[in-house]
Amino acid sequence: MATRFSWGTLPIAIPLLVAACGYEENPLVSTGTLHDLETIPQDAKAFVPEAGLSMPASAERRLRDLRQYWYAPWERTQPTVCSIEEFGWAAVTFAKEPAFGPNLMEVTEPNLEMLVANARLDSYPSRAARAIAVRNSSLRALPASDPIFRDFRRAGEGYPFDYNQNSAVWAGTPLLVTHRSVDGRFVAAESPYTCGWIDPRDIAYVDDDLVARYRSLGLAAIVRDRMPISAEGSGFLFQGRVGMLLPMETADESGASLLAPVADENKNAAVKRVPMSPRDSVPAPLSFSGDALAGVINEIVGQPYGWGGLGGYRDCSSTVLDVLLPFGLPLPRNTNAQVFAGRNVSLGQLEPSAKEARILDSAAPFRTLLNMPGHVLLYLGAFEGVPVAFHTIWGLRTESGDGSNPGRHVIGRSVITSLSPGAELKALSRTRGDLLSRIESFTVVGEHDGE
């Protein structure tokens, strides 16, 4: 059954008018520099406390937790990260309200049904095969590369919110392949932290010997983002990313020799040696120091927002995952699960000023997640007496003076802000625009209740 489909033919009107090479700006969307971004340093090193950072978990424990988390897909015989209900959420959700394609036209019901049928979820899971990502790749919600948007006329919808983009995985990530689409263009797989449909050209299958070889070696964390990784004698393999872990064969003061996975002609995994300088990779877990954490964060500051890893960029939850993983602090992939990734402290009943005071008093800089529905921030410390955080954000909610015409002030990148960025905006939503008012709790990673 073919799954690449034509989009519907009923055009919709949106307030974005294309004319020659220009356009009229969507009145629901505003942009511009915020006061926070002009006054708060966009350099994480500015917030490293002189007294250093606290970390109750030992390096040995963090290494044990990291290895257990990272290689978990190769220990499974059935899906663990995603149940059938979780894996099949898109099939249910996309049918509840109209879906749109990249041409702004509604996707017809038969086309959506064809996508769902191609997933053959009635027989999921149908296999359990160990594999590894050999390229940086997307994990799709349904087995198709076509994007699925909600109504572009609504604030906070349209690009970049492709709801068929479940997540992304970096090259070298262990996988468990659990299913195959009818047309064979995608396989279902789960990583240590998420799942979805992946292009089979982006993976290779591993055997017992490769698993044993990987497990016998230490892990190295890539600490420079979007850097080329090339093999000796073979040239470019893939782009190195913060959050990427690779086996380390040798290491000394001059650098390290890492192993990068490649696929042979039979789609089985082999390895290539890649030389790395000390500034590009470090044995994992990294020492939990301010300089090391700030260096990793600064690799991401300013990068564009990418919903679900769209375009190889990050959203809020993948940002904190990638930042903390090299330090042996693995997280789940989505914001709802990250709330429970450490000692959680409720803030929901406090007034905004009391929330700030509690965060300043009790949150651990550089390892505390600030949680709200649909968004997460990494607390860095204080700047001129107020808490600041690092986060990847699309935009702030805006509205007209009478509370109508909801819109967005787009930030669209990874930034360091206060907990009330955009407070100076006249159009900031009075009920949903202020992040501080929406923060419900914080989670101290590396600690757990009762410890």
Query: How confident is the model over 360-390, as pLDDT tens digits?
Result: 999 999 999 999 999 999 999 999 999 999 9
Q: H or E stretch including 375?
A: strand 375-383
- The yes-or-no verdict on residue 8 having pLDDT over 80 is no
Query: How confident is the model over 29-39, as pLDDT tens digits?
Result: 889 899 999 99
More confident residue, 448 or 347: 347
Query: How confident is the model over 96-131, as pLDDT tens digits?
Result: 889 999 999 999 999 999 999 999 999 999 999 999
Whose tokens are 């279902």? That residue is 188
Which residue, 368, 409, 358, 410, is CA-closest to 389?
368
pLDDT at 26: 53
Strand 137-140 with 165-169, pairing: antiparallel
Query: How confident is the model over 273-285, as pLDDT tens digits?
Result: 999 999 999 999 9
pLDDT at 10: 31
- The yes-or-no verdict on residue 23 having pLDDT over 60 is no
pLDDT at 450: 56
- The yes-or-no verdict on residue 11 having pLDDT over 90 is no
Share of the chain above pLDDT 70, in %: 93
Q: How confident is the model at residue 27 (pLDDT cuts 50, 70, 90)?
A: low
The CA distance from 8 to 4, in Å, is 13
Average pLDDT value for residue range 287-298: 97
Whose tokens are 């989505």? That residue is 334
pLDDT at 451: 55
pLDDT at 100: 94
Q: What angle, rounded to 10 degrees, do the helices at 290-300 and 316-324 form?
A: 140
- The yes-or-no verdict on residue 266 having pLDDT over 70 is yes
Query: How confident is the model over 202-211, as pLDDT tens digits?
Result: 999 999 999 9
pLDDT at 96: 86
Query: How confident is the model over 124-181, as pLDDT tens digits?
Result: 999 999 999 999 999 999 999 999 999 998 989 999 999 999 999 999 999 999 999 9
CB 375 within 8 A of CB 435: yes
CB 185 within 8 A of CB 143: yes
More confident residue, 252 or 138: 138
pLDDT at 277: 95
pLDDT at 163: 95
* 1 C-beta neighbours (distance < 10 Å), count: 9
More confident residue, 409 or 233: 409
Average pLDDT value for residue range 176-200: 97
Q: How confident is the model at residue 322 (pLDDT cuts 50, 70, 90)?
A: very high
More confident residue, 13 or 432: 432
Interior/surface letters 73-95, b for 16+ CB within 10 angstroms, e for the rest: bbeeeebebbeeeebbebbeebe
